[in-house]
Amino acid sequence: MRPPPADAKEECLLDARAIGVFDSGLGGLTAVRQLRRLMPSENIIYFGDTARVPYGNRSRETLLQYARQDMRFLSRFQLKAAVVACGTVSSNCLEELQAESAIPITGVVEPAAARAAALTRSGRVGLVATRASVASGAYERAFLRLDPGLEIKALACPLFVPLVEEGRCRPGDVVIETVAREYLAPLREAGVDTLVLGCTHYPLLAEIIGGVMGPDTALVDVGAEAARSCRDLLARRDALADRPAGEARFYTSDRAANFQRLAALFLGEDGAVQVEQVDISQY
């Protein structure tokens, strides 16, 4: 995306710069879907690191290296804000990325914890996320800051991301339904009334997870909460764009065709998206 032309006064006043978004793969597109719903005027640059997905079982050092490369790639564009649409990176390296960046960066943990704390009636909140997210304790710390009285039951669900990346997320799919029932049994037993879907891949499983947990459990979509938080941040800074329709550009570190195949499902939109492959090792 080109920088805004110097004479585009009106656009510059309304901050025409894009919002950068990255994830380990396709999951972050669920956050893009919400960003586009909330802020249809904004331009979005998305990077999905499909060559190195999943991030969820990696060490903190590797995650930081990957996340820095992802941010360096996004920094090629004129950005006014970035969203780390990856629960794993948000849980493990958000502070480093924020400290190193000249633009504000929103993660998914704080906004989702705030939403769950506001929703729960019993004070018993569940969290499903990747291994690295759960091991980091970041969600628990966020809950503790909000309300030390909350009881948090956190569970790693490492098979969810590869199954979603394979498109195995539809109700009736016996594999994902079996895995979900087995993973979620301890949360049902714990009687949580609110469940944070702590990974941006998981909203694709909302119907299946909701079916297992039952109608009395509220589900929190971390991508949607991060999108809301990003919108509020831009509004506070008077940095929202005001054009009839923004555009989104998509970049991936592995074959574009694979990304394209599933992007519409994640975005909830019809039609193929334009995707470009980049060599992330260059960043």
Q: Among all residues, which ones are annotated catalytic? A: 86, 199
Q: How far is the CB of 250 from ligand DGL (least distance, A)?
A: 15
Residue in the structure block whose two tokens are 């804000």: 81
Q: How far is the CB of 1 from ligand DGL (least distance, A)?
A: 24
Q: How far is the CB of 164 from ligand DGL (least distance, A)?
A: 9
Q: How far apart are CA 267 and CA 180, in angstroms?
A: 22
Q: Which positions lie near ligand DGL, rule CB under 6 A?
A: 23-25, 27, 53-56, 86-88, 130, 133, 161, 199-201
Q: Is 120 helix (H, G, I), strand (E, B) or coil?
A: coil
Q: Cβ distance 130 to 87 under 8 Å?
A: yes
Sign of the torsion angle spanned by Cα atoms 196, 198, 203, 208: negative
Q: How far is the CB of 70 from ligand DGL (least distance, A)?
A: 12
Q: Between residues 155 and 239, which has the closer beta carbon with respect to ligand DGL? A: 155
Spatial distance between the Cα atoms of 44 and 61, rounded to a whole number of angstroms: 28
Residues 6+ away with beta carbon under 8 Å from 118: none
CA distance to 8, 38, 251, per residue, from 11 (Å): 5, 19, 25
Beta pairing partners, 90: none
Chain residue at closest Cβ approach to ligand DGL: 56
Residue whose CB is less far from ligand DGL, 67 or 184: 67
**Residue type at 69 in one-letter notation:** Q
Both tokens assigned to 218: 């509220």
For residue 71 the two structure tokens come to 């941010």
Sign of CA dihedral 221, 30, 174, 183: negative
- If the CB atoms of residues 60 and 243 are measured against ligand DGL, the closer one turns out to be 60
| Residue closer to ligand DGL, measured from CB, 9 or 255 | 255
Pick the closer one to ligand DGL by CB: 79 or 222: 222
For residue 132, the minimal CB distance to ligand DGL (Å) is: 7
